[in-house]
Amino acid sequence: MTVGVQDPYRLLGVLRTADERTIRSAYRQKVKDCHPDLHPGDRQAEERFKALSVAYAILNDADKRRRYDRGELGPDGTARARQSSATSSGPDFGGMRGHNKPFRDPYLDEAFDEADDPVIWQNRTQGTPPPGRDDFAPPPPPADDDLTDLFREIFQDGATRPQAGRGSGGNGLRGRDVRYTLTLSFAEACYGTRKRLPLNTGRDVTVPIPPASENGQVIRLSGQGQHGATMALAGDLLVELQVQPHPFFTRKGLDLHAPLSLNLAEALRGGRITMTGLRGQLAVMVPAGIGNGQVLRVSKLGLRAGEMTGDLYLTIAVILPPNADDALTTFVSDWIDRNPYHLPGR
């Protein structure tokens, strides 16, 4: 089923008084549902996309729009014949004949709504004029920066499933998107890096890893996928990140979480404690008398992303000596007997 040539206003669903912004918005909305890249092999969608493009090429060009409104252009964008004199043969529609005005069928909208002329589209595709139409010249495709952004958005929306389709920047087939997996250490994902990724084609690409990257996050490298046909867009390279877990550190957004082990004396007297961080040694201040299981918040020692910086949360783990002798046991017991204190839940 092909899409007949229709009145551009009716095809885009706009009034004849619509301004440029309204026309552009209507076109952007409608081509999202029928772009060939999102409907490969769908002939009906392709025909509708062609019809919408022709309609927009007419209405987006002020001169062509005026000529169409005067009846000098047909709804397919080609010039129409003029009635040059009152003696010209042909039907008289509403007194049009004999007034030296271009002929315009008052039933144009309704007639073309029902029209189904695959010859026009075939000739437009092949670049040859229809029979008896030496002045045939298909309108150029719309040239609009906003539409370029629209097509880029459409391609990115459909790129999660690797498939071939027509690219907006060429006449051939757009290259396929290619997926790879890249393994990162926990620290590399947290602080960002640049990683070399060998491809099956024999070449390597450098993948920029932004700070605070997440496990399963996909990084898109535009134009690094399979090559398209001549003058067509290349596909994209989609790199999925697999972040290895860390034995001590975990993440919640930009905040880092880790345990901090203290011996009995450190927990009692507090002070400056050195611990192993993700990028070397960290020094943190521990208050005296901190208890097992308490959480110590260290401001601004988390991850940074843009203007945001997370915190470091340390869960205290007081570790008793594995080889306590009788002297230590007796001392602690005597001290507690002299200084009893409340234990929650006891």
Quick: pLDDT tens for 274-289. 999 999 999 999 999 9
Please report how many Cα atoms fall inside a 13 Å half-sphere around the Cα of residue 157, on the Cβ side.
Answer: 12
Are 31 and 150 a contacting pair, CB within 8 Å? yes
Helix ranges (H only) for 117-233 are 118-126, 145-158, 186-191
Q: Which residues pair with 281 in a beta bridge?
A: 276
Give pLDDT, residue 217. Answer: 95
Considering the entire predicted model, what is its pTM? Answer: 0.50
Other beta carbons within 10 Å of 111 = 15
* Residue 121, token pair as written in the block: 């589209």
With tokens 């989609």, the residue in question is 238
**Residue whose C-alpha is closest to residue 163's, from 34, 38, 35:** 38
Are 177 and 238 a contacting pair, CB within 8 Å? yes
Which segments of the chain have a pLDDT < 70? 1-5, 37-40, 81-172, 229-231
Are 210 and 193 a contacting pair, CB within 8 Å? no
* Residue 213, token pair as written in the block: 């990257």
With tokens 């397919």, the residue in question is 76
Integer Cα distance of 110 and 90 in angstroms? 20
Cα–Cα separations (whole angstroms), residue 164 to 143, 206, 220 = 24, 25, 17
* Residue 285, token pair as written in the block: 């201040």
Give pLDDT, residue 81. Answer: 64
* Residue 182, token pair as written in the block: 């890249």
Give pLDDT, residue 230. Answer: 65
Give me Rg for the CA atoms of the chain: 36
Residue partners of 199: CB distance under 8 A and separation at least 6: 178, 180, 205, 237
Digit-coded pLDDT (tens) for 167-199: 334 445 788 899 999 999 999 999 999 999 999
Integer Cα distance of 243 and 249 in angstroms? 13
Residue partners of 168: CB distance under 8 A and separation at least 6: 37, 148, 151, 152, 154, 155, 233
Integer Cα distance of 288 and 273 in angstroms? 12
Give pLDDT, residue 77. Answer: 83
Strand 237-243 and strand 178-184: pairing?
A: parallel
Residue partners of 259: CB distance under 8 A and separation at least 6: 248, 314, 315, 316, 317
**Residue whose C-alpha is closest to residue 40's, from 218, 220, 176:** 176
